Structure 1
Amino acid sequence: MTSPTAQDSGALAPNVRFVLLTVFLDILGIGLIIPVLPALVATFHLPADQQAYWYGLIVAAYGLMQFFFAPLIGALSDRYGRRPVLLTCVFGLGLNFLLMPLAANVSWLLLIRAVGGVTAGNLSVASAYIADVSTPENRSKALGKIGAMFGLGFICGPVIGGVLGEVDVHYPFFLAAAVSMGNVLYGYLALPESLLQTHRKPFTFKSANPFSGLLGLAHLRDVGGLIWVYALFNFAQFTLQTTWVLSTQLRFGWTPLQNGLSLFMVGVSAVLMQGVFLGAYTKRVGDEKAVQYGLMSSCVALTLYGLATEGWMMYVLILCNLLAFAAGPALQAIFSRAVDAGSQGMAMGSLSSLASVMSVTATLAGNNLLGYVSHAPQHSWTLGAPFFMAAAVQLLALLLATRYLRRKRVVASA
């Protein structure tokens, strides 16, 4: 059941526009600091090995805090409404961006960034908001718009952050803070509440526990088995993301410009599928088939990424992998339809929490594997080992999804 705003097209458009703008600005802010965060760590005059050590800690701390707090943020939004929780998180994110360049030492930078992982729960609240104001039939399309905003944010953010970082490494952080604070003001003036009082649920610490939340999703009728598919899908995607730059440098001698161009193309592909084609595509094949086809496409693309012998092949493979960008929103839509209107925040928070822990695991596994094979000659196929690992994990996700679909068809026929 959706709120009345879902049926009122005149009210829906501004609501969705703000939430999508919130997601875009959040990802823009994150994208702004991606190319300059290692440089900010370097300003503390640490040896090279210590820079890598502290940078890894900062990235991992952010993901771990998101794992523990995304369900809490989602559960609070189920109790008090999406609007106050979303605006509070966006404010906290802006404050985090502002404090990072002011850190007195690298330990303070680690602490500030870890606290920032708490506010990252706003993305799960944004997903719950979209679920509130969309019909079950259009939910995958609506959630796909969030994915499109991710793509747009990663198209614009790293480019702007890189240009500003050339002038001063602190400027991208200040711009990200200003963008977030402006977003809070706009939301305070323009954003209505999406969760009706009748759909709100009492807050309990059990619902805010990331482990109990994941167990709850795993036991959902008919769809619980897909929790492993979602986890493995995210593990493979984060392995790809966190090893891409170093892998292409080792294999093809790519410069930051060439890597920036490849990430730009990834963002364009995400926008095309999730922002333009997803609604018609899922309407034609259904969310379950969209998941299955997306995993197939991703599995093949990851294998070919690892086998590529020339850099131009990577660009072609990115553009040929459009179907993979439909799998994530389709999975979210399946889980969203399986819970009631008052539990959307918990569900989206738990999925966000699971994705964050997969990001930490994939970062450690992928980069350690790449470090192990980094001694190989430049064009050796062994340098593609992280991509082969991701492809194997994606294949396992595909097998589990296929088993789920087969079982669902048997139950439906019975």
Structure 2
Amino acid sequence: MAEPAPVRAVEEKRCWRWTWTSGIGEPSVYHALVVIFLEFFAWGLLTMPVISVLNDTFPDHTFLMNGLIMGIKGLLSFLSAPLIGALSDLWGRKFFLLITVFFTCAPIPLMTINTWWFFAMISISGVFAVTFSVVFAYVADVTEEHERSLAYGLVSATFAASMVISPALGAYMMDVYSENLVVALATAIAILDVFFILVAVPESLPEKVRPSSWGAPISWEQADPFAALRKVGKDHTILMLCVTVFLSYLPEAGQYSCIFVYLKLVMGFSVVMVAVFIATVGILSVGAQIVLGFLMRSLGSKHTIMVGLVFELLQLMWYGFGSQTWMMWAAGVLASVSSITYPAISAFVSMHSDADKQGLVQGMVTGMRGLCNGLGPAMFGVIFYLFHVDLNEDHSKLPEARPHIVDNGTASHIFESMQPLVPGPPFVFGAFLVICALLVAVFIPEGTPIGSSLRTSSRRQSGKCRLSMELHYEVELSKKHDGVSPLSPLVDNSAVL
């Protein structure tokens, strides 16, 4: 006998709720770290194959197309992040961890099927390529407020750790076996990540802070990516912090999008050398994240930010003016240390903001960083194109070899004359931006509370806080876990910033 429709609907709803709330153990930082590690390990395997496919697909405009592809992906991520953040407040973190990982990794199998569709899907996947945003919200759900800076550092360190062996492993498999095998392995790891989220990751968002109905309305301000940025100029300290983030992260985002392609196609690095380079920088970056707490206690948050900016300036100059292999290695070492800049800025905000302004201010800083993720790669690609830095790897393997310059008039002669002196023009331009960031950072006040001039009434809707950026949980979810820290198995509480 068939069940009545109301009974069947209740059972289906119960089954659906169980699927999205079940998991292994209590929600903890461990779950978030595994999700991040598997996703970026899968993409790390494709580092070397993507460079070859990119150069084969766009031999005459490699850097320009790389910049445009990554730029479109970054801009789409910036535009969609607030909406996904707001929806995760309503529907929970697990569901959005699943869809962000799935769609971010969806282009991987297309690499051996159709390269044009592969790169098109990478760009389009930016709509859901906000795993870090959801992971940071997940971490905020399961940690106490005083542990959060360390937890974010662990997430960043896990990302760096995922890049330690995966590029080298992918390069080895591509040389010994085939590119298809690398893509198949990356696809399998991505599927494993999706399966892990579906089966093992428990929901971190407590029922009591979610609305009773999934149909609860979302305001336009929650989904507007520019909502937080429009408030930047209302507080002097926030304005200076956001300008510092914009000027420093713009070249960092551009550099990250193209550095491995640049090392192989312009500086003459072999596949093995690029893989070892990534592993070395990844290990050093993990070490830099570990000593971040010591630097914060010794120098203070503001001076730690300035130290990170100085190292970023030096590494960009090395990349820009360097023409020898050892110079690139020196720049990589400096780049690993400069990775402390953004965590130090987040810690500065956490230390100097009132409790009810934490999410608001962090959302503004995060929004500025998201904007850079779109503009940075495009900026680097256009500058490479203007300086005619595009080299098909079949033309030459030597670092001294330079791309053929086509005479297009006075501008081409100017760029051609500068080419021998500045092998990497975008990096030099990025160094100039970081100098400006340093000058702004010097005048950031440390004594005044951040966000004191901002109103928070717009953050509430129907009595519930609904900030839609990745750190918008600072207040509501800091009093949890009955005093048991989910980080306690990882670190001693005395090491917390």
Q: Shared fold (TM-score greater than 0.5)?
A: yes
Q: Is the 8 A contact 2:38 2:190 kept in 1?
A: yes
Task: Measure how far apart 1:194 and its partner are.
Answer: 2.6
Q: Is the 8 A contact 2:314 2:331 kept in 1?
A: no
Q: Is the 8 A contact 1:93 1:120 kept in 2?
A: yes
Q: Distance in 2 between matches of 1:30 and 1:121?
A: 15
Q: Does 1:409 align with 2:467?
A: no
Q: Does 1:75 align with 2:86?
A: yes
Task: Give the counterpart of 1:301 among 297, 300, 315.
Answer: 315
Residue identity in the other structure for 2:317: T
- SS across alignment from 1:225: helix
Task: Measure how far apart 1:76 and its partner are.
Answer: 1.6
In structure 2, the residue matched to 1:142 is 151
- SS across alignment from 1:170: helix
Note the alpha carbon deviations across 1:108-138, whole angstroms, 9 max, x for none. 3344223322221111111122233333333
Residue identity in the other structure for 2:272: L
Superposed CA RMSD in Å reads 3.6
Q: Is the 8 A contact 1:100 1:173 kept in 2?
A: yes
In the alignment, structure 2 segments of 5+ residues that lack a partner are 1-24, 212-216, 390-401, 406-415, 451-497
Residue identity in the other structure for 1:35: M
- SS across alignment from 2:227: helix
Note the alpha carbon deviations across 1:217-261, whole angstroms, 9 max, x for none. 665684343122212221121343345346556875433333332
Taking a change above 3 Å as real, the CA distance of residues 171 and 213 of structure 1, as seen in their structure-2 partners, is farther
Point out the structure with the larger helix share: 1
Q: Is the 8 A contact 1:296 1:398 kept in 2?
A: yes
Q: Is the 8 A contact 1:128 1:344 kept in 2?
A: no
Task: Measure how far apart 1:23 and its partner are.
Answer: 1.1
Taking a change above 3 Å as real, the CA distance of residues 320 and 75 of structure 1, as seen in their structure-2 partners, is same
Task: Measure how far apart 1:295 and its partner are.
Answer: 0.7
In structure 2, the residue matched to 1:176 is 186
In structure 2, the residue matched to 1:191 is 201
- SS across alignment from 2:446: helix
Residue identity in the other structure for 2:157: A
Q: Distance in 2 between matches of 1:252 and 1:93?
A: 30
The count of corresponding residues between Structure 1 and Structure 2 is: 394
In the alignment, structure 1 segments of 5+ residues that lack a partner are 1-10
Q: Distance in 2 between matches of 1:197 and 1:342?
A: 20
Q: Distance in 1 between matches of 2:437 and 2:67?
A: 27
Find the structure with the greater CA-based Rg. 2
Residue identity in the other structure for 1:278: L
Taking a change above 3 Å as real, the CA distance of residues 319 and 57 of structure 1, as seen in their structure-2 partners, is closer
Q: Is the 8 A contact 2:66 2:381 kept in 1?
A: no
Q: Is the 8 A contact 1:121 1:352 kept in 2?
A: no
In structure 2, the residue matched to 1:229 is 244
Q: Distance in 2 between matches of 1:196 and 1:288?
A: 35
Taking a change above 3 Å as real, the CA distance of residues 41 and 186 of structure 1, as seen in their structure-2 partners, is same
In structure 1, the residue matched to 2:43 is 30
Residue identity in the other structure for 2:441: A
Taking a change above 3 Å as real, the CA distance of residues 355 and 55 of structure 1, as seen in their structure-2 partners, is closer
Q: Is the 8 A contact 2:255 2:377 kept in 1?
A: no
Taking a change above 3 Å as real, the CA distance of residues 315 and 296 of structure 1, as seen in their structure-2 partners, is same
Q: Distance in 2 between matches of 1:90 and 1:241?
A: 20
Q: Distance in 2 between matches of 1:41 and 1:321?
A: 24
Q: Is the 8 A contact 1:306 1:387 kept in 2?
A: yes
Q: Distance in 2 between matches of 1:273 and 1:324?
A: 8
Q: Distance in 2 between matches of 1:155 and 1:235?
A: 24
Task: Measure how far apart 1:308 and its partner are.
Answer: 4.0
Q: Distance in 1 between matches of 2:338 and 2:83?
A: 30
- SS across alignment from 2:179: coil
In structure 2, the residue matched to 1:203 is 218
Normalised to the residue count of structure 1, the TM-score between the two structures is 0.80
Taking a change above 3 Å as real, the CA distance of residues 378 and 329 of structure 1, as seen in their structure-2 partners, is same
In structure 1, the residue matched to 2:379 is 362
In structure 2, the residue matched to 1:8 is none
Taking a change above 3 Å as real, the CA distance of residues 243 and 229 of structure 1, as seen in their structure-2 partners, is same
- SS across alignment from 1:49: coil
Q: Distance in 2 between matches of 1:348 and 1:100?
A: 34
In structure 2, the residue matched to 1:48 is 59
Q: Distance in 2 between matches of 1:391 and 1:121?
A: 27
Task: Measure how far apart 1:293 and its partner are.
Answer: 1.5
Taking a change above 3 Å as real, the CA distance of residues 290 and 199 of structure 1, as seen in their structure-2 partners, is farther
Residue identity in the other structure for 2:152: L
Residue identity in the other structure for 1:160: L
Residue identity in the other structure for 1:26: E
Residue identity in the other structure for 2:33: L
Normalised to the residue count of structure 2, the TM-score between the two structures is 0.68
Task: Measure how far apart 1:41 and its partner are.
Answer: 5.6
Q: Distance in 1 between matches of 2:268 and 2:439?
A: 35
Taking a change above 3 Å as real, the CA distance of residues 402 and 71 of structure 1, as seen in their structure-2 partners, is same
- SS across alignment from 1:408: coil
Q: Is the 8 A contact 1:61 1:117 kept in 2?
A: yes
Q: Is the 8 A contact 1:74 1:121 kept in 2?
A: no
Q: Distance in 2 between matches of 1:207 and 1:28?
A: 32
Q: Does 1:255 align with 2:273?
A: no
Q: Distance in 2 between matches of 1:237 and 1:297?
A: 12
Q: Map 1:9-408 to 2 at 5 A.
A: 15-40=28-53, 48-49=59-60, 57-103=68-114, 106=116, 108-166=117-175, 167-200=177-210, 203-216=218-231, 219=234, 222-245=237-260, 248=263, 253-274=268-289, 276-308=290-322, 310-320=324-334, 322-335=336-349, 338=353, 350=367, 353-368=370-385, 370-371=387-388, 380-404=420-444, 407-408=445-446
Q: Is the 8 A contact 1:235 1:358 kept in 2?
A: yes
Q: Is the 8 A contact 1:218 1:227 kept in 2?
A: no
* Stretch of structure 1 that moved more, 244-253 or 231-240: 244-253
